[in-house]
Chain A
Amino acid sequence: MDLQPTDDQNSLVEMITGFAADRFPIEIVRSYGEQGGFDRSRWSELAALGTFGIAVPEESGGVGLNFIDAVLVHEALGAALVPGPLVAATLAAGVVDGVIDGSVVPCLIDLPPDGPLIVEHFRSADVLLVVSNDGVNLVPCSELNGSDVLHPTDPTTPVTVLASLPAGESVGGPELATAWRQRGSLLASAQLSGNSSGSTSLAVDYAKEREQFGRPIGSFQGLKHLLADSWIRTEVARSSVWAAGVTIDEPEVGSIPRAVAGARLTAARAATENAKTCVQVHGGMGFTWEVDAHLFLKRAWVLETQFGSIDEAADVVAGLYAVR
Chain B
Amino acid sequence: MHLRDSESDAAFRTEVREWLRGAVASLPTRPSDDDWPGRRAYDAHWQRLLFDAGYAGINWPAEHGGRGATPTEHLIFLEESAAAKAPDVGVGFVGQMHAGPTIIAEGTDAQKSHHLRGILTGEHVWCQGFSEPGSGSDLASLRTRAFRDGDDYVVTGQKIWTSHAMAADYCEMLVRTDPNELKHKGISWLIMPMDLPGIDVRPLVTVHGSTEFAELFLDEVRVPVSNLVGEENDGWRVANVTLSFERGTGFVGELLDTTNVFQELIELAKTTHRNGKAVFDDDSIRREIGIIGADLDALWAFTKRNVSQGARGGMVMGSGSGFKVAFATTQHRLGDLALRVLDRSSLSLDDLDGEPTGELVHAKLHAFAISLGGGTTQIQQNIIAERVLGLPRER
Contacts and interface: CB of A to CB of B under 8 A. Distances in A.
Interface in A132-177: none
Name A's interface SS. Answer: helix
B4 A236 contact: no
B375 interface: no
B301 A239 contact: yes
A242 interface: yes
B1 A3 contact: yes
B366 interface: no
A324 B263 contact: yes
Contacts of B392: 208, 215-216, 218-219
B294 A266 contact: yes
Contact of B263 (A223, A240, A321): A321
A263 B297 CA distance: 9
Contact of B280 (A5, A225, A266, A322): A322
B287 A258 contact: no
B390 A208 contact: yes
Contacts of B255: none
A48 interface: no
B5 interface: yes
For this complex, into which size category does the number of interface residues on chain A fall?
35 or more
Residue with the highest number of chain A CB atoms closer than 10 Å, among B6, B300, B305:
B305
A198 B311 CA distance: 28
Contact of B385 (A9, A68, A228, A253): A228
A177 to B, nearest CB: 23
Contact of A253 (B4, B325, B388): B4
B105 to A, nearest CB: 25
Nearest to A262: B294
Contacts of A313: 290, 294
Given A228-B389, A311-B287, A239 B305 contact: yes
A297 B319 CA distance: 25
B344 interface: no
B391 interface: yes
A266 B302 CA distance: 12
B25 interface: no
A72 to B, nearest CB: 9
Contacts of B280: 318, 322
Contacts of B283: 311
A250 B2 contact: yes
Contact of B384 (A207, A228, A240): A228
A6 B2 CA distance: 10
Contact of B302 (A1, A235, A253): A235
B252 interface: no
A254 to B, nearest CB: 7
Given A221-B382, A240-B294, A208 B1 contact: no
B318 interface: yes
A9 B391 contact: no
Contacts of A19: none
A231 B391 contact: no
A250 B96 CA distance: 35
B301 A243 contact: yes
B393 interface: yes
A227 B311 CA distance: 29
B198 interface: no
B2 A318 contact: no
Residue with the highest number of chain A CB atoms closer than 10 Å, among B9, B270, B322, B380:
B322
B381 A254 contact: no
A1 B384 contact: no
B285 to A, nearest CB: 9
A106 B87 CA distance: 56
A221 to B, nearest CB: 6
Contacts of A223: 391
A1 B3 contact: yes
A3 B283 CA distance: 34
The 3 tightest CB contacts between A and B, nearest first, are A314-B290, A224-B385, A262-B294
Given A68-B1, A219-B393, 12 more contacts: A3-B3, A3-B308, A218-B392, A219-B392, A224-B381, A224-B391, A225-B385, A231-B384, A235-B322, A246-B3, A265-B290, A321-B293
30 contacts: A2-B1, A2-B308, A4-B305, A9-B1, A216-B391, A218-B385, A218-B391, A221-B378, A228-B382, A228-B384, A229-B325, A231-B389, A232-B384, A233-B326, A235-B326, A236-B322, A239-B305, A242-B1, A243-B297, A243-B300, A245-B1, A246-B3, A253-B3, A258-B293, A263-B298, A314-B286, A314-B288, A321-B290, A322-B289, A324-B263
Interface of B: 1-6, 9, 72, 75, 262-263, 266, 270, 280, 283, 286-291, 293-295, 297-302, 304-305, 307-309, 311-312, 318-319, 322, 325-326, 378, 380-382, 384-386, 388-394
